[in-house]
Structure 1
Amino acid sequence: MKKDTKLNTTLDTKLVNAGRHKKFTGSAVNPSLVRASTIVFDSVAEMSEAARGRDDGVAYYGRRGTSTTFALSQAMIDLENAAGCYVYSCGTAAITSCLLSFLSAGDHLLMVDSVYEPTREFVDETLTRLQIETDYYNPLLGADIEHLIKSNTKVIFMESPGSLTMEVQDVPAISRVASAHGLVTMIDNTYATPFNFRPLDSGVDISIHSATKYLSGHSDVMLGVASANERTWRQLQKNSYQLGQCASVDDCYTTLRGLRTLPVRMRQHSENALKLASWLSSHSLVDHVRHPALPTCPGHESYSADFSGGNGLFSFVLKEFNTDALTKMLDSFSYFKLGFSWGGYESLVLSATHFSKRRTATDWHATGHLVRLHVGLEDFEDLQADLATGLNTFQDNL
């Protein structure tokens, strides 16, 4: 069992109890679901007292959150050893708010080249319009990122692994370089969740999650969270509020419920995915598999050093490039449904070839199709048979 060294508690136990303070739950097991826009006060003195605590989890106005929001924030603070956590309407909102909170016109951003496409679009379009300069860097760069730092560099953004091509970054090395130069580091930690990697413990300033994915775990929530250390929390909190960021308390409640089963879900996702990845590695149609736990994955050494486990997400590259055969393969699946996102209980498949080619700092050398799988909680043999049928369909249509 993994131990939380700060509290000497197993992380499984912590996930069951995080955010379940009596001020949120009363005598119930779960926090109350409190929906509110206006918060009313019985006196001027009470309103003034609430105003003094409005940045510290005291109900003041609905956009700042209710006790349901604060319960989720506290859970993430507990899990990530953070000074504070802000809750957003989705993962992209969390990412964009974090970047806008620490970048101004004339600043320079270092952004990992394997980043999630909506993040890249925001950088290339919105940040460029705001006169913020960006350089993309090789996700395998590690401490050598120091050579890319300029006098106006303010932020280094990481995503590890990359959600399509799965490169794993040396997060501690990059964080040490950033700290030495007084830069703010951010990471999209959606893949790992706090169950498998806690970035703040490795020197990162802000850890961002699309709670839409594994934290909630059932494909019925849109939510984002960003947990920050002492150095960055107040600035992130103030700017996120000024940007109008807030989230549905129903989604906060549902995500809290999802957190309780995160360990058992992640273990099953990981077991199914690793067995399928190993099987695909020896398949005659597959060029290579990009699963962080396998030595064939770029950055595997960093994964082994920093992560305590995996999940259901990985990619594989076919030897052949044939769009018609790929289309027929994708249409043939029964359990692997076509769909964006990942992190729910169901299995998904996505053709990601065109995404992988949108690079500026690194080259993509594979000649076959890149296919991303999210392996769900279905029976392994059913999923293996589904993949086998699909690959046979691909072969038959070459």
Structure 2
Amino acid sequence: MTSSHSDTAQGAARDLITQLVHHPYTPPAGFVSPQPPVHKGSSVLFPNVAAMRERRWLDKSSYTYGLHGTPTTYQLEERLCALEGGLQCLLVPSGLSALTTVSLALLNAGDQVLLPDNAYGPNKDFTEIELKRLGIDHALYDPMNLADLQAKITPATKLVWLEAPGSVSMEFPDLIAMVQLCRARGVTTVLDNTWGAGLAFRPFDLLADGGSLGADITAHALTKYPSGGGDVLMGSIITRDAGLHMRIKLTHMRLGIGIGANDAELLLRSLPSVGLRYRAHDVAARALAQWLGQQPAVVQVLHPALEGAPGHAHWQALCGAANEGQGAAAGLFSVVIDPQHSQTAVDRFCDSLQLFKLGYSWGGPISLVVPYEIERMRSQPHTQLKAGTVVRFAIGLEQVQDLRADLAQALTKAFG
């Protein structure tokens, strides 16, 4: 009784604000709801010095500091592993951050990295400028020519970037053959899996035999389909090899990379519907791509799920069995506008669209359009593409008939 009375008296003597800061109430355990709780915190409190010294965060068995993980981020990481078929996941503030963190973790001065010529532009810029400053060499390969990749792998090659399909021009490479080649040469592969999103194909199980062949690493812009709202910037780095994961994780830690708890909350809320949304985007995009292919102003449709598109056979082999044989693809495609129409006319077409908004990124509810100068984005001849101006469409969740009507009126205004 004496000790309890003394503690009570001491508490009563404390200032009101101190009592608020150190309020002892803890809610009862056992509250369960459909959405996991959001844990926020930079400081993590320890019961004693021994616990502070013994806790480890590298194996996710406990918590030491908010930057190294919370129950919320651990849950998101595990769910993303389930989505892509990986075993370890790191969260970063953007898709581009996922790309750059992988390269910084795995490459040293004197190493070489290979990228497809149709790689995501900011990744090429990072490689050509920032990595070059660090003494890291690079080369660009033709993603539709396996022999070109094979010829450019040297003893200095430590990392090969893969994209399926390529950025903007949408060529779908022979991903299986590329991974087989790199594995035979002992080169680590990293796949930008933003388009596939873990849904079009299994990046760590390309042969669908349980995992005998797959990419070593995936980098994923969660900004797109996992988010689905156009309001979150986040990326992930997923692996199946513990040693490879730890190399990247330590670099991730030293760079001080972290994400916000509220962003993790939004991703956890969106993930259960990602399959439904991905399928809806896919169905609408194919319908609109096929319709645009019939319009006089369009000389080529670049959608890997459509016959005649660059790499369609490779898409069919990898993605064609999904959805009861209908295959799976993202809601993203490009068209080539007949070169008889000027850039001014193409710009007028894009400006005339009402439901399609001008904007980068994709995977959200609003359809987007961007015209591109593809010649400025490529260093090698793009023989798979016909001459003309490339326009990329990201299909949202609007009704197909409304989007088709919008396209029709803009085509008339711009091209007659």
Indicate whether the TM-score tops 0.5: yes
Between the aligned partners of 1:107 and 1:295, the Cα distance in structure 2 is 39
Q: How many residues align?
A: 370
Q: How far is the alpha carbon of 1:144 from its aligned partner?
A: 5.5
Specify the alignment match of 1:319 in structure 2: 338
Alignment check: 8 A CA contact 2:194 2:221 kept:
yes
Give matches, 1:5-16, under 5 Å.
none
Task: Provide the C-alpha distance between the structure 1 equivalents of 2:58 and 2:49, rounded to a whole number of angstroms.
Answer: 15
* 1:379 aligned partner: 399
Match for residue 310 of structure 1?
329
Match of 1:46 in 2: 51
Q: 1:224 aligns with which of 213, 230, 235?
A: 235
Q: Distance in 1 between matches of 2:77 and 2:142?
A: 33
Q: Is the Cα contact below 8 Å between 1:105 and 1:132 reproduced in 2? A: yes
Match of 1:5 in 2: none
What corresponds to 1:342 in structure 2?
362
Q: What TM-score, normalized by structure 2, do the two folds share?
A: 0.86
The answer on whether the counterparts of 2:143 and 2:149 sit within 8 Å (CA) in structure 1 is no
Q: Cα deviations across residues 113-133 of structure 1 (Å, max 9, x unaligned)?
A: 101111111011101111111
Q: Distance in 2 between matches of 1:271 and 1:175?
A: 29
Of 42, 61, 68, the residue aligned with 2:72 is 68
Q: CA deviation at 1:209?
A: 0.6
User: More deviation in 197-206 or 135-144?
Assistant: 135-144
Note if contact 1:143-1:177 (Cα within 8 Å) is conserved in structure 2. Answer: no
The RMSD of aligned alpha carbons is 1.6
Deviation of the 1:81 alpha carbon = 2.5
Where does 1:1-398 land on structure 2 (aligned, <5 Å)?
Answer: 27-50=32-55, 52-142=56-146, 145-202=149-206, 203-230=214-241, 231-307=243-319, 308=322, 309-320=328-339, 321-352=341-372, 354-363=373-382, 366-396=386-416
Amino acid at match of 1:208: A
Between the aligned residues of both structures, percent identity stands at 35
CA contact (8 A) 1:143 1:173 kept: no
Residues 60, 74 of structure 2: 8 Å contact kept: no
Q: Deviations over 1:92-114 (max 9, x none)?
A: 00100011111111101110110
1:366–1:287 distance in 2 versus 1, CA, 3 Å: same
Equivalent residue letter for 1:327: D
Give the Cα–Cα distance (whole angstroms) in 2 for the partners of residues 312 and 299 of structure 1.
Answer: 17
Could you tell me which residue of structure 2 aligns to residue 22 of structure 1? Answer: none
Q: What is the distance in 2 between the residues matched to 1:34 and 1:86?
A: 17
CA distance in 2, matches of 1:57, 1:323: 57
Corresponding residue for residue 13 of structure 1: none
Q: How far, CA to CA, are the matches of 1:297 and 1:125 in structure 2? A: 32
| Alpha-carbon distance in structure 2 between the residues aligned to 1:200 and 1:236 | 18
Structure 1 position 369, deviation (Å): 1.2
Equivalents in 1 of 2:178, 2:58: separation in Å? 35
Residues 142 and 148, structure 2, Cα contact 8 Å, conserved in 1: no
| 8 Å Cα contact 2:117-2:141 kept in structure 1 | yes
Letter in 1 for 2:256: G
Change (3 A) 1:220 1:57: farther
Following the alignment from structure 2 to structure 1, what is the Cα–Cα distance between the partners of residues 41 and 375? 43
Following superposition, the deviation at residue 41 of structure 1 comes to 0.5
* Deviation of the 1:246 alpha carbon: 1.1
User: Which ranges of structure 2 fall in alignment gaps of 5 or more residues?
Assistant: 1-29, 207-213, 323-327
What is the deviation of 1:271? 0.8
Q: Residue 209 of structure 2 aligns with which residue?
A: none
Q: How far does residue 356 in structure 1 lie from its aligned partner after superposition?
A: 4.8
Bigger radius of gyration among the two: 2
Separation (CA, whole Å) in 2 of partners of 1:67 and 1:362: 49
Residue matched to 1:11: none
Matched letter for residue 283 of structure 1: Q
CA contact (8 A) 1:117 1:355 kept: no
Check whether the contact 1:80–1:200 (CA below 8 A) recurs between aligned residues. yes
Counterpart contact for 1:87–1:224, Cα < 8 Å: yes
Moved more, 302-311 or 209-218: 302-311
SS state at 2:190 partner: strand
